[in-house]
A and B are shown apart, each in its own frame.
Chain A
Amino acid sequence: MSNPPDFVTGETEGPELPEREAAPAEGAGTAEARRRVHELWMAGTEAPGEAGGFTSEGAQEMLAEEEGAVLAGQMGTLVGDDYSSPVGPAGEDTQIINMGPQHPSTHGVLRLQLELEGETIRRAKPIIGYLHTGMEKTAEALTFAQGCTNVTRMDYLSPFFEELCFSLATERLLGIQVPPRAQAIRVMMTELNRVASHLIWVATQGMDVGALSMMLYGWRERELCLRFFEKVTGLRMNHNYIRPGGVAADLPDGWEDDLAEILEKVPAGIADYEGLLDDNPIFRERTVGVGVISADECRAYGVTGPILRATGVAWDLRRAFPYSGIEQYRFEVPIGQGGDTYDRYKVRMEEMRQSLSIVTQVAESLPPGDYRSDDRKVTPPPRARLDQSMEALIHHFKLFTEGFKVPAGEVYQAVESPRGELGMYLVSRGEAKPWRLHVRGPSFANVQALPVMLADSLIADTVATLASVDPLLGDVDR
């Protein structure tokens, strides 16, 4: 066998290949023999064997099953179950495939390593980090006043929740109260954001199981919400609207009309989706009994939000640890029974209705008053005061140069984001910048539990399960 040609020059001046022993005559047609003939050599490398090395992802790869490491998190835990498939010990006929990181159904850059036996998934391992941008480190370099601009970019489909969580944590450290009107506006914007986020979810869930028109309908109704956000905050995403001390601005003139349009069209849209999907035989076939997880597994993995509620646990932080005055409004916590993809669908659809009901109640009972705290050490004075008051000018200057100092302490604040419990652990050492901000993203825990939901399912169901988890990679990787 001669040296393979140089790919660039076309000359055969590759490295000296070790002499191969001739394939035995009777084995010439075997797979082993064919494999030897097609050994790959990349121009510029030392020898053929080296070529295989450069695509290795190293230690984050799935480990061999006998090492027991990939899913060993389940060993001796509350779950106490072995998610390895019962199809027998790993043999020659399993194969490991990669889904992603560039795969349309992963809704971002999530990579799933799946070990398959035929079409059945024996093991799965999510590999994350492709969207890691070090936002927790960045938060340490920004003041508390600037912090919301940073955190709002993590979970980019529900930015109001990130801002709210950061603001609530900062306010608890500061020990300040927020006026009732600001609280009500916060509740209204976050609940509307939940609807917008769930609309994206229903659009992609529909699309991923073949209901392509759902994609268009979901985005159509979400557009109404985004237009409202743009009118109120000036931006469609990454609003930086909810800030420590209140909100950035009062609601604009004519907001009631825009909201009335949303409250009229979105419920009609939800009814349409249910008409399309609820009893659709294809949709049911793809989702009923797919991606099942139990309540105990959810607790052990920290899975929260609609996935947990679909297992029959009526756990909602808005009920258990109410924030921002949300306990004044009436709403139900929908729960499922089976913990499968279809139940998650039903739970989220009902959650949209409940959120719209809260928005209606807020709009009807919006209290008058200030939209932010009048503590001038935290919120800037009105522009008009700067011309009249030396104090106001000093406060303004201090706030926009140094920022406000936050008393030393540590606090964990959680809100019920569309994906589950969004928590922030904030440590202050009495400076204007946080010493540490840790974000407990709901998607991080939910993605971790994917192997549980995927074990023993068909590879075709991976897409449906993944969509029903609604992971947001900006939230996972931060």
Chain B
Amino acid sequence: MRDAAAREAGALLAGLAEGFPRAQFGTSLGDEVARVEREDLVAFAAAAREAGLTTFIDLCAVDYLNRPEGRFEVVVNLLSMRLPLRLRILVAVPGEDPQVPSLTGVFAGANFYEREAYDLFGIRFPGHPDLTRILLPDEWEGHPLRKDNPVGAVPVQFKAVEGR
């Protein structure tokens, strides 16, 4: 039973690898990981959904500051409940042009997660229907989870204070 599921999972990943020769597949501590080019992300996610990874689990960003292949990384977690199989998609994003095409057209659940990544990291998601801040107030300056935004550097702002 488990063997059959493992074979099917292997076939699923092999099918994706065939369709996207530029994507690099590997594992990280037992997790299946695919490193995908930014331009391929939407097509890759759509193909993964067709292949059976129908559950959208998570999207987040990481700031690696001085990394040659790109300062930011956008991390997407997909899941197949049938197999079961998890696939983590990593997309390197250059710091001078922080944008990634939106996944909201493929997975409705990407909506809030992309807003969160935009809010905290300043990564833009062209194609997102409502890319606004989600956790912080609209008038907040900066994107606090960036590594060049140290803890406590910004005085806490409140809405409708006097003099604003």
Contact = CB atoms under 8 A, between A and B. Distances in A.
B55 interface: yes
Interface in B117-155: 120, 129-130, 132-139, 144-145, 151
Interface string A130-161: 00101011100100000000000000000000
Contacts of A329: none
A84 to B, nearest CB: 14
B9 interface: no
B109 to A, nearest CB: 4
Interface in A281-298: 296-297
Contacts of A141: 151
B108 A301 contact: yes
Dominant secondary structure of chain A at its interface with chain B: mixed
A77 B110 CA distance: 11
Given A409-B28, A436-B63, A477-B135, A321 B84 contact: yes
B134 A60 contact: yes
Contact of A440 (B77, B129, B134): B77
B59 to A, nearest CB: 9
B84 A320 contact: yes
A421 B57 contact: yes
Contacts of A57: 138
A78 interface: yes
B54 interface: yes
A427 B72 CA distance: 13
Given A79-B108, A321-B84, A409-B28, A440 B57 contact: yes
A423 B77 CA distance: 10
A69 to B, nearest CB: 4
Contacts of B14: none
A57 B100 CA distance: 27
A299 B133 contact: no
A128 B129 contact: no
A370 to B, nearest CB: 24
A138 B30 CA distance: 28
B130 A58 contact: no
Contact of B107 (A77, A128, A414, A438): A77
Given A77-B106, A411-B31, A63 B130 contact: yes
A440 B109 CA distance: 12
A137 B145 contact: yes
Contacts of A425: 58, 60, 75, 77
A302 B129 contact: no
Contact of B55 (A74, A132, A299, A449): A299
A297 B107 CA distance: 10
Interface string B4-45: 000000000000000000000000111100000000000000
Interface string A194-236: 0000000000000000000000000000000000000000000
B83 to A, nearest CB: 9
B129 A436 contact: no
A444 B56 CA distance: 13
B1 interface: no
Contacts of A346: none
B111 interface: yes
Nearest to A436: B62
Interface string A297-331: 10111110000000001010000110000000000
Nearest to B64: A435
Given A76-B105, A302-B109, A129 B151 contact: no
B104 A302 contact: no
A412 interface: yes
Contacts of A320: 81, 84
B105 A301 contact: no
Nearest to A141: B151
Given A75-B129, A172-B29, A129 B135 contact: yes
Given A301-B108, A321-B84, 16 more contacts: A74-B108, A75-B105, A78-B107, A129-B136, A300-B55, A302-B58, A302-B109, A409-B28, A412-B88, A414-B57, A423-B58, A425-B75, A438-B58, A440-B77, A444-B112, A448-B112
Interface of B: 28-31, 49, 54-58, 60, 62-64, 75, 77, 81, 84, 86, 88, 104-113, 120, 129-130, 132-139, 144-145, 151, 160
7 contacts: A57-B138, A75-B105, A136-B120, A409-B29, A423-B57, A440-B58, A447-B112
